[in-house]
């Protein structure tokens, strides 16, 4: 047996946790360095699982080294490593050998809108967050009034949507009262002062259950807020609800069932930021925070007809947020307008000293008042050709026409597949939930979730590292494809189909934003997605806002209108 095979197998065992997966504890207790206690059949089958074919002689040859390695693995103390245990390395989305221009300048927020309180306050339920903030800032409504209104709507409509995990009512009213007191004293904490919002229930809020969508974690709480919650609180926003997430951020099924689409409650709102998308679309919160590993902000944003922004990997701290794919997870806003997404991002972005993937010295350069926007727009022709829904296809063609009408030049490009994104994500999930799985808590999960967590525990370290080497090549290929364009337009087909072009932008860490672009004949929303260059969220927001202004006003789900009350 050569040294390459030996190292491959030892690396496999160390990563996959064979010590506890394939061998009983009684056997592990007998293992001592230099003592061969593993039989040939066990070693041969483990090697076969790693994609290796060894002779009996090769299996006997590796036995001593494997015994020593397993003894070392048993001393890792895996049960003490939690989902929050940090890694000593971080993913950098900037491909090696490729120049990545960083934004310069600062953020200038959109001009404050002029608003007037309607006769019935609930009529503002669908207003953009920027307009709600103006209503509070001009003292036409108090934050407490808005908070009570949204809490009432959450209670009234959750039976249809199943989007609420926990109402944070006591906390919300205290935060709203504090926001009103600050305003009375002449202190405005930020552009979201007094605005009620919700967070996906993988994001910690001190004292409130953070269930990760899992039945056995219904009472799990944390003592501190996640960074994103802290920054919103410091900015004067008011947390009214923890919103549903797919179980362990898988899909749109959580412990209490599916979260439904406000436009058509007979279908799901997609996952895994299902509750954030549904609550925002139904006017149950001013805005919401979601997370995205492979499309979990973008897909429910399209399904629910809202705007969802997935920032560049590392733009927003994930401290206090459940880890799913450690090198893929991003935190971002889900709002009713593009400007809202930009405003929320301006509050939550930047380093915090906890999440080391957030770089220092990379400003968010967004001018919310300018009308300049990127005009060299790439698109992938095969995506448009693959769309079979007649209405969605027409909406996609109209989106291209809108861009052309805005003076954009359209450039056909090709991009590599992003299928690798899911392999890397699922292996990282298995590591993040290793203690959870070893403790037997996975038994309470849905079969699909449980199967993936267990199966990916047997993926080799060699395959994971080689996948990331391939990922680097893909990052370089995408960087080359984007050299001639400022942004790329994708169709909603990429969000949940085998074309895998949305996952490639997640794999590479590029920022993306989903914007509504119409409806199907059945009344379900469709959308387009724009992806931009790394850390260039400002340019991406400018493009999406120009598109949004041209498309015009947006409808809201009629079932959740306040008009009949």
Which is the catalytic residue, given 67, 143, 244, 296? 296
**For the chain, counts of helices (H) and of strands (E):** 20, 15
- Residues 193 and 176: their CA atoms lie apart, in Å, by 9
The rounded radius of gyration (Å) of the Cα atoms in the chain is: 25
Nearest-10 Cα torsion for 409, 414, 419, 425: -50
Distances from the Cα of 166 to the Cαs of 10, 212, 246, in angstroms? Answer: 45, 12, 15
291 catalytic? Reply is no
- Identify the residue whose tokens are 């076969």: 48
- Element of type H or E holding 313: none
- For residue 89, the tally of other CB atoms under 10 A from its CB is 10
Q: What is the DSSP letter of 187?
A: -
- Residues 115 and 123: their CA atoms lie apart, in Å, by 13
Strand, helix or coil for residue 292: strand
Which is the catalytic residue, given 65, 67, 143, 200? 200
Distances from the Cα of 493 to the Cαs of 380, 499, 505, in angstroms? Answer: 12, 8, 14
Which distant-in-sequence residues (6+ apart) come within 8 Å of 230 by Cβ? none
244 catalytic? Reply is no
- Residues 392 and 199: their CA atoms lie apart, in Å, by 30
Tokens encoding 204: 């910690």
Closest CA to 337 of 563, 106, 549: 549
CB 337 within 8 A of CB 309: no
Which is the catalytic residue, given 65, 143, 272, 524? 272
- Residues 448 and 96: their CA atoms lie apart, in Å, by 36
272 catalytic? Reply is yes
Residues serving a catalytic function are: 200, 272, 296
């Amino acid at each position: 047996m050569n040294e390459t095979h030996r190292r491959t197998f030892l690396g496999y065992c160390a990563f996959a946790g064979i010590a506890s997966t394939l061998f009983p504890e009684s056997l592990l207790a007998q293992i001592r360095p230099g003592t061969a206690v593993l039989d040939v059949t066990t070693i041969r089958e483990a090697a076969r699982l790693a994609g290796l074919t060894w002779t009996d002689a090769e299996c006997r040859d590796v036995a001593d080294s494997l015994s020593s390695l397993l003894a070392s693995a048993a001393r890792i103390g895996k049960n003490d490593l939690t989902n929050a245990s940090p890694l000593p390395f971080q993913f950098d989305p900037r491909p090696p050998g490729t120049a990545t221009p960083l934004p310069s300048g600062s953020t200038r927020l959109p001009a404050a809108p002029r608003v007037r309180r309607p006769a019935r306050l609930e009529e503002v339920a669908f207003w953009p967050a920027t307009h709600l903030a103006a209503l509070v800032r001009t003292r036409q409504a108090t934050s407490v009034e808005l908070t009570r209104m949204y809490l009432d709507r959450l209670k009234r409509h959750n039976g249809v949507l199943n989007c609420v995990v926990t109402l944070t009512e006591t906390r919300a009213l205290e935060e709203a009262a504090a926001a009103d007191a600050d305003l009375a004293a002449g202190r405005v904490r930020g552009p979201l002062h007094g605005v009620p919002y919700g967070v996906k229930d993988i994001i910690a809020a001190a004292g409130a259950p953070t269930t990760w969508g899992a039945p056995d974690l219904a009472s799990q709480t944390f003592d501190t807020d996640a960074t994103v919650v802290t920054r919103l609180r410091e900015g004067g926003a008011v947390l009214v609800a923890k919103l549903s997430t797919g179980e362990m951020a898988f899909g749109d099924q959580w412990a209490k069932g599916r979260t439904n689409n406000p436009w058509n409650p007979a279908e799901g709102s997609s996952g895994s930021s299902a509750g954030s998308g549904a609550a925002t679309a139904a006017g149950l919160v001013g805005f919401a925070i979601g997370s995205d590993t492979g499309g979990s902000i973008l897909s429910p944003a399209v399904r629910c007809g809202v705007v969802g922004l997935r920032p560049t990997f590392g733009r927003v701290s994930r401290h206090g947020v459940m880890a799913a794919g450690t090198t893929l997870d991003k935190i971002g806003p889900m709002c009713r307008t593009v400007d809202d997404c930009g405003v929320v991002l301006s509050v939550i972005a930047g380093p915090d000293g906890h999440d080391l993937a957030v770089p220092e010295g990379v400003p968010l350069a967004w001018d919310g008042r300018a009308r300049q926007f990127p005009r060299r727009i790439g698109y992938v022709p095969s995506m448009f050709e693959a769309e079979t829904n007649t209405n969605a296809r027409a909406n996609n063609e109209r989106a291209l026409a809108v861009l052309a009408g805005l003076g954009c030049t359209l450039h056909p490009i090709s991009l590599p597949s992003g299928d690798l994104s899911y392999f890397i994500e699922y292996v990282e999930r298995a590591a993040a939930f290793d203690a959870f799985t070893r403790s037997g808590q996975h038994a309470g999960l849905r079969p699909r979730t449980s199967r993936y967590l267990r199966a990916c525990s047997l993926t080799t370290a060699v395959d994971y590292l080689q996948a990331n080497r391939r990922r680097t090549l893909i990052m370089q290929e995408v960087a080359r494809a984007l050299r001639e364009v400022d942004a790329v337009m994708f169709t909603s087909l990429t969000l949940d189909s085998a074309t895998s072009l949305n996952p490639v932008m997640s794999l590479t860490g590029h920022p993306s934003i989903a914007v509504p672009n119409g409806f199907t004949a059945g009344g379900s929303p469709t959308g387009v997605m724009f992806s931009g260059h790394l850390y260039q969220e400002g340019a991406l927001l400018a493009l999406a806002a120009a598109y949004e202004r041209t498309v015009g006003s947006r409808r809201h789900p009629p079932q959740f209108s306040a008009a009949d009350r």
